[in-house]
């Protein structure tokens, strides 16, 4: 599976948060990505904010 954001994809929120624990203090947070239906660490990227991740709002 690939994601337009190019970020690493986690199957579950727990997996993303587990990795985050290995980087204390890092400005990362787990968030759900509508583009790939997975979880990422970090801020929402521009592609996610503008179009790619708005599939559920399309219809
Ligand atoms: Zn994604």
Q: What is the pLDDT of residues 4-21, one digit of tens each?
A: 888 889 999 999 888 878
CA 25 – ligand 1 centroid, Å = 23
Single out the residue of 17, 44, 23 nearest to residue 33, CA to CA.
44
Question: pTM (2 decimals)?
Answer: 0.60
Going from the Cα of 19 to the center of ligand 1, the distance in angstroms, rounded, reads 16
Q: How confident is the model at residue 59, as a pLDDT?
A: 42
pLDDT in tens, 10-49: 999 999 888 878 877 766 788 888 899 999 888 655 655 5
What pLDDT does residue 9 have?
A: 93
- CA separation for the pair 45, 59 (Å, rounded): 23
Instruction: Say how many Å lie between the CA of residue 49 and the centre of ligand 1.
Output: 11
Residue 30 DSSP SS3: strand
Ligand 1 centroid–CA 45 distance in Å is 10
């Amino acid at each position: 599976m690939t994601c337009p954001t190019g970020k690493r994809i986690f199957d579950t929120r727990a997996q993303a948060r587990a990795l985050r624990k290995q980087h204390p203090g890092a400005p990362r947070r787990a968030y759900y990505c509508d583009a790939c239906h997975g979880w990422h660490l970090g801020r929402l990227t521009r592609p996610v904010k503008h179009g790619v991740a708005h599939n559920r709002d399309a219809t």
